[in-house]
């Protein structure tokens, strides 16, 4: 892994805010994201940095990020050695960010950068985590909205700690929380859960989530189901307990039914019937067993991944662009 360059001589003000932006094939939106983001950051008196994490894009997003116009913020461009997924890209950003507070922002402008000052104000009031809850999800299908709502409900019922509903990755974290998350040894990084796990002082603000500005979503339903399983297995072992309860219920009912069959045969005799009920019992039991085995496999597979202890991502290149005075940055943008 490359080491960061030393800060320019004489630069002693600490970085107040780091904005982490994961990028995967985002050339279509990157210029407008950059101009909206830098406009907001230029208006802040504090020293800020933007951390662009290129997650193995094949459309030149990394080169484009490196060549973006300078601003009053430092630009740090990381490129991962291949596509590792958004969770890994965010982890990489979190370990490179140097700010006293950190905001995670999607590149597609679904999370409006204009809300950053409001989030920072809450951090100044002493909050460690500022969750941004989606009031409305514009540009998302009915099915996606309903399945997301159902998923959050199930996840919260299963998990031992509350995971805020309808809060994506867009949020502010204090340095203390970022350090705790960076120190976690686990490889299954379901970030929405990990961000809530440290606790500390949390506040939730509401916002309207805009539709993606350009380009396509990088998620399909198979990926989303994988992410959903990661979330459940990372924060709960309750499904295993449910499997035990299901087994216990089925076995108890089978014993009771068995006793009833014996008693019935002894009292009234048996006329050898019951083929359909036999099939139902066999299929139902087989189904429950397979489901429980699959569930065990989900957990076991994750134990296997943790045991291998491979890194979550590899960083290829790191470049840093120093900040400019606000006037010079404004002139460069004109
Ligand atoms: N992203 C990433 N790696 C991936 C997929 C997505 O870094 O493998 C980034 C993507 O560039 C964007 C953010 O994650 O900045 C959210 O992706 P997207 O908008 O496609 O997700 P959605 O909003 O549809 O859930
Ligand atoms: Mg998006």
Q: Helix (H) and strand (E) counts for the chain?
A: 11, 8
Q: Which of 19, 22, 91, 231 to mutate to test the pocket of ligand 1 (most atoms within 8 A of CB)?
A: 22
50 Cα to the center of ligand 2, angstroms: 19
Tokens (6 digits) for 240:
């295993």
Using alpha carbons, list the distances in angstroms from residue 207 to 37, 139, 194, 237, 327: 17, 15, 22, 33, 31
A 10 A CB-CB count for 20 gives: 27
Write the CB contacts of 234 (distance below 8 Å, at least 6 apart in sequence). 186, 188, 190, 193, 302
**29, burial (CB in 10 Å: exposed 0-12, middle 13-18, buried 19+):** buried
Tokens (6 digits) for 63:
């080169």
Q: Is 61 in the pocket of ligand 1 (CB under 6 A)?
A: no
Is CATH 3.10.129.10 what the domain over 17-236+312-333 is classified as, yes or no?
no
pTM of the full structure: 0.75
Q: Is 16 in the pocket of ligand 1 (CB under 6 A)?
A: no
Instruction: Please state the domain extents for the chain.
Output: 17-236+312-333, 238-308
Instruction: Find the ligand nearest to 33 CA.
Output: 1
pLDDT value, residue 54: 95
Question: Which pLDDT band, with edges at 50, 70 and 90, does 23 fall under?
Answer: very high
Q: Is 107 in the pocket of ligand 1 (CB under 6 A)?
A: yes
- If you take atom 8 of ligand 1, which residue's CA is the nearest one? 85
Report the atom number in ligand 1 closest to the C-alpha of 212.
19
Q: What is the pLDDT of residues 237-279, one digit of tens each?
A: 888 888 888 877 887 887 788 778 778 878 887 666 677 677 7
Q: Are 137 and 66 in contact (CB under 8 A)?
A: no
Tokens (6 digits) for 126:
């002493």
pLDDT value, residue 1: 39
Q: Is 80 in the pocket of ligand 1 (CB under 6 A)?
A: no
Q: Is 54 in the pocket of ligand 1 (CB under 6 A)?
A: no
Report the atom number in ligand 1 closest to the C-alpha of 25.
11
Q: What is the pLDDT of residues 180-205, one digit of tens each?
A: 999 988 888 888 888 888 888 999 99
* Comparison of pLDDT for 292 and 81, the residue scoring more: 81
For the residues of 215-254, what is the DSSP string, one character each? S--S--HHHHHHHHHHHHHHH--HHHHHHHHHHHHHHHHH
Q: Are 236 and 158 in contact (CB under 8 A)?
A: yes
DSSP 8-state code for residue 65: H
The whole-angstrom separation of Cα 51 and Cα 48 is 10
Write the CB contacts of 238 (distance below 8 Å, at least 6 apart in sequence). 158, 159
pLDDT value, residue 177: 93
At residue 199's C-alpha, the angle toward residues 197 and 204, to 5°, is 100
Q: Which residue has the tokens 């996840």?
A: 155
Determine which helix (DSSP H) or strand (DSSP E) holds 20, and give its type and residue range: strand 17-23
- If you take atom 16 of ligand 1, which residue's CA is the nearest one? 106
Write the CB contacts of 154 (distance below 8 Å, at least 6 apart in sequence). 232
Q: Is 111 in the pocket of ligand 1 (CB under 6 A)?
A: no
106 Cα to the center of ligand 1, angstroms: 7
* Cα distance from N-terminal residue to C-terminal residue, the chain: 36
The whole-angstrom separation of Cα 243 and Cα 241 is 5
128 Cα to the center of ligand 2, angstroms: 25
- pLDDT of residue 209 exceeding 90: no
User: Phi and psi dihedrals of 111, rounded to 5?
Assistant: -100, 110
Nearest 10 degrees: Cα torsion 44, 89, 145, 122:
-30
Q: What is the pLDDT of residues 163-174, one digit of tens each?
A: 887 888 999 999
Tell me whether strands 315-321 and 167-174 are parallel, antiparallel or unpaired: unpaired
A 10 A CB-CB count for 297 gives: 11
Q: Is 56 in the pocket of ligand 1 (CB under 6 A)?
A: no
| Closest to 103 in 3D by CA, of 79, 69, 127, 80 | 127
pLDDT value, residue 4: 43
Q: Is 22 in the pocket of ligand 1 (CB under 6 A)?
A: yes
Instruction: Find the ligand nearest to 107 CA.
Output: 1
Q: Is 110 in the pocket of ligand 1 (CB under 6 A)?
A: yes
- If you take atom 24 of ligand 1, which residue's CA is the nearest one? 217
- The whole-number average pLDDT for the span 222-227 is 82
């Amino acid at each position: 892994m490359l080491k960061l360059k030393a800060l320019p001589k004489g630069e002693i003000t600490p970085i107040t805010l780091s904005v982490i932006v994961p990028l995967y094939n985002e050339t279509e939106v990157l210029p407008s994201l950059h101009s909206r983001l830098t406009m907001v950051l230029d208006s802040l008196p504090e020293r800020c940095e933007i951390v662009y994490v290129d997650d193995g894009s094949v459309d030149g997003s990394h080169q484009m990020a490196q060549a973006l116009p300078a601003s009053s913020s430092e630009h740090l461009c990381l490129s991962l050695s291949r596509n590792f997924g958004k969770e890994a890209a965010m982890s990489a950003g979190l370990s490179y960010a140097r700010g006293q507070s950190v905001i995670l922002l999607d590149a597609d402008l679904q999370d409006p950068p204009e809300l950053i000052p409001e989030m920072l104000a809450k951090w100044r009031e002493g909050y460690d985590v500022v969750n941004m809850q989606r009031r409305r999800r514009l540009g998302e299908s009915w099915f996606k909205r309903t399945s997301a709502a159902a998923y959050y409900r199930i996840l919260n019922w299963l998990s031992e700690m509350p995971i805020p509903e309808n809060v994506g990755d867009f949020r502010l974290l204090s340095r203390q929380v970022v350090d705790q998350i960076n120190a976690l040894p686990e490889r299954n990084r379901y970030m929405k859960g990990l961000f809530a796990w440290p606790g500390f002082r949390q506040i939730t603000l509401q916002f309207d989530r805009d539709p993606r500005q350009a380009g396509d979503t990088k998620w399909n339903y198979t990926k989303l189901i994988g992410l959903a399983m990661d979330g459940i297995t990372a924060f709960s072992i309750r499904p295993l307990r449910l499997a035990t309860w299901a087994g216990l219920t089925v076995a108890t009912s089978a014993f009771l039914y068995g006793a009833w069959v014996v008693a019935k045969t002894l009292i009234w005799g048996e006329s050898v019937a019951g083929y359909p009920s036999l099939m139902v019992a066999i299929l139902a039991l087989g189904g429950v067993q397979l489901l429980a085995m699959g569930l065990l496999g989900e957990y076991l597979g994750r134990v296997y991944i943790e045991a291998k202890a491979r890194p979550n991502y590899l960083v290829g290149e790191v470049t840093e662009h120093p900040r400019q005075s606000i006037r010079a940055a404004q002139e460069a943008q004109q």
